[in-house]
Amino acid sequence: MITEFMLQNLPDSDQRLEAMFQAFDDLMFILDRYGKILDYRAGDPSQLYVSPEKFMHRKMQDIMPPAVGRKIDDALLELHKGSPVSQIEYVLPLPTGERWFEARLVPFTNHQRVMFVRDITRYKRSELQTRRQLDQLAALRSIDLAISSGLDLHLMMSVILDHVHAQLNIDAACILLLDPKSQLLQYAAGRGFYTSALQYTRLRAGEGYAGQAVQHRKMLHISNLKNRQTDFLRSPFFSKENFMSYYAVPLIAKGQALGVMEIFQRTSPKADSDWLNFLDTLAGQAAIAIDNAILFKDLQWSNTELMQAYDKTIDGWSRALDLRDRETETHTRRVTELTLRLARHMEIPEADLIHIRRGAILHDIGKVAISDTILLKPGPLSESEWEIMRQHPLIAVELLTPIAYLAPALPIPHSHHERWEGRGYPDGLSGESIPLAARMFALADVYDALTTNRPYRRAWSQADTLDFIRAQAGKHFDPNIVPVFINMVLEEGDAGTSLTPLLKDPPKE
């Protein structure tokens, strides 16, 4: 026998080989050029899944599955062409499960090849697991990103189900949300369904598998749905989905059940602990995401409420101020309307108008700190009285600065007494360094002040007032805004449609 020949002629090297096999657990086969097995060595004989009688003197390719056989053919061909070594990797479905092997083939003599086989299942598993863990990490990161970007609830659930579908390698999944008012579980989003079978789901807590998962706050698994379809009578189309395996995972955030994630498979899957762990993690993320999205929606809602409360408050402040002087009672309303109309003619972005409105309403709020003796004085102010009066824009800034949502409205209260040529107050700004909103507002304010009675003088006519404003273009007022304002007043009048004009002279058409 060739093996005996080999053993006799190479005793030293053979002993060394034996020793090596004891150390490395490798399998070694001696093949002829065509793959016939001439001999073997097994460091660990339990690695031989077939008894030697069954493989000795047969072609290696014939005892392997065809796909592996082809790889061995290729490797032998490579050696035949002169390669010093050729290496292949293959999987064998063994009774103990799939195992990966790595085989290296080297020429031994002209007519023989040695094939070293090593079981690499352990490395392969850890490699696959590492890759899977990296994929899982990437999935969790993108869910985190979706959560922190404040996506709306439906987009968020969509992102999560995409990852559930891809990472857990399942057929279909859906999320049922627990409606806090009705306490019903309702379908909110899904992936992978053939039919709309589950979209009309409405379950009470405790009702059905999903309801039980929520009630007991525990994952529920049914391995063969086909034996138990009564539960899914919630849909007559359910049998069309042909589902086999089912999981219901409660979605719990901050101790509160928000809903259920349902997982469906059309075959019986192998769910190892890794798979179950990741399902649990994804469900946890889903719960956080849903909780966040709901919170965000609530926050936006309560923000709107808060805004409305604030707006009512500032309206109240300005009305209180107006009431101190019966003659200027509707001054604030009129200048606010006029300024907003002017802003529209100036094509100010719609989003800025709310701030301009608030600013106009609050423009003279600083006058709350000015005593009646000065504010309601029937004649001209003394120098020291003027000094106090000129404080009113800065008093407004002081009053309003603590209210964050009024920050974009501050330019009008702060700067409505600045003058285009400078020498206004409180900062003596000039030209375009005066905020645009304040420049627009100044026109409306002076126009309305002059056309109404003041404790210190009678109202002017509209014609006189417009003459005065025209003359002040480039002095008190922005010369680019004056013509827009004058045309607007002449063409459309000086009152909002909702206001009764309080003019001494009717507008000239």
Residues 414-443 that bind ligand C2E (CB under 6 A): 417
Residue 322 binds to ligand C2E (criterion: CB under 6 A): no
Stretch that binds Fe ion, among 272-280, 360-368, 422-430, 469-477 (CB under 5 A): 360-368
504-505-508 Cα angle (round to 5): 155
Closer residue to ligand C2E (CB): 270 or 458: 458
182 CB-near residues (< 8 Å, 6+ apart): none
Residue 418 binds to Fe ion (criterion: CB under 5 A): no
495 in Cβ contact with 337 (< 8 Å): yes
Q: How far is the CB of 318 from Fe ion (least distance, A)?
A: 10
Closer residue to Fe ion (CB): 337 or 364: 364
228 in Cβ contact with 159 (< 8 Å): no
Separation between Cα atoms, residue 148 and residue 146, nearest integer Å = 6
Residue 435 binds to ligand SIN (criterion: CB under 6 A): yes
- Which H or E element spans position 342? helix 331-345
Separation between Cα atoms, residue 71 and residue 86, nearest integer Å = 10
Which tokens sit at 210? 């999903």
Considering CB distances under 5 to 8 angstroms, the limit depending on partner class, which of ligand SIN, ligand C2E, Fe ion, none binds residue 397? ligand SIN
Q: How far is the CB of 400 from ligand C2E (least distance, A)?
A: 18
Q: How far is the CB of 353 from ligand SIN (least distance, A)?
A: 8
Size of the site for Fe ion (CB under 5 A): 2
Separation between Cα atoms, residue 356 and residue 334, nearest integer Å = 14
In the chain the first and final C-alpha atoms are separated, in Å, by 124
Q: Which of 269, 195, 287 is nearest to 232 (CA)?
A: 195
Q: How far is the CB of 366 from ligand C2E (least distance, A)?
A: 10
Which x/- pattern over 300-319 shows residues binding ligand C2E (rule: CB under 6 A)? --------------------
Closer residue to ligand C2E (CB): 261 or 361: 361
Residue 414 binds to ligand SIN (criterion: CB under 6 A): yes
Q: Are strands 256-265 and 245-253 parallel, antiparallel or unpaired?
A: antiparallel
Residue 436 binds to ligand SIN (criterion: CB under 6 A): yes
Closer residue to ligand SIN (CB): 343 or 488: 343
Closer residue to ligand C2E (CB): 395 or 450: 450
Q: How far is the CB of 420 from ligand C2E (least distance, A)?
A: 12
Separation between Cα atoms, residue 406 and residue 427, nearest integer Å = 20
Where in 164-295 does DSSP place strands (E)? 172-178, 184-191, 202-204, 220-222, 245-253, 256-265
Residue 445 binds to Fe ion (criterion: CB under 5 A): yes
Stretch that binds ligand C2E, among 197-205, 263-271, 432-440, 451-459 (CB under 6 A): 451-459
Residues 332-371 that bind ligand SIN (CB under 6 A): 348, 352, 355-356
Size of the site for ligand SIN (CB under 6 A): 13
Which x/- pattern over 371-410 shows residues binding ligand SIN (rule: CB under 6 A)? --------------------------x----------x-x
Phi, psi (degrees; rounded to nearest 5) at 267: -125, 170
185 in Cβ contact with 177 (< 8 Å): yes
247 in Cβ contact with 212 (< 8 Å): no
Residue 380 binds to ligand C2E (criterion: CB under 6 A): yes
Q: Are strands 184-191 and 172-178 parallel, antiparallel or unpaired?
A: antiparallel
Q: How far is the CB of 401 from ligand SIN (least distance, A)?
A: 7
Q: How far is the CB of 151 from Fe ion (least distance, A)?
A: 45
Stretch that binds ligand C2E, among 36-44, 98-106, 313-321, 450-458 (CB under 6 A): 450-458
- Which H or E element spans position 40? strand 37-42
- Which H or E element spans position 387? helix 383-389
Closer residue to Fe ion (CB): 337 or 445: 445
CA distances, 87 to each of 102, 242, 363 (Å) = 7, 44, 84
Stretch that binds ligand C2E, among 12-20, 21-29, 215-223, 453-461 (CB under 6 A): 453-461
Q: Residue 17's CB: how many other CB atoms inside 10 A?
A: 16
Q: Which of 49, 51, 41 is nearest to 21 (CA)?
A: 41
Q: How far is the CB of 371 from ligand SIN (least distance, A)?
A: 24
Q: Is the peptide bond before 426 cis (omega within 30 degrees of 0)?
A: yes
Q: Which of 422, 239, 455, 231 is nearest to 331 (CA)?
A: 455
Q: How far is the CB of 352 from Fe ion (least distance, A)?
A: 20
Residue 262 binds to Fe ion (criterion: CB under 5 A): no
Length of the chain: 509
Residue 437 binds to ligand SIN (criterion: CB under 6 A): yes
Residue 446 binds to ligand C2E (criterion: CB under 6 A): yes
**Footprint of ligand C2E (CB under 6 A):** 377, 380-381, 389, 417, 445-446, 449-450, 454-457
**Footprint of ligand SIN (CB under 6 A):** 348, 352, 355-356, 397, 408, 410-411, 414-415, 435-437
**Footprint of Fe ion (CB under 5 A):** 364, 445
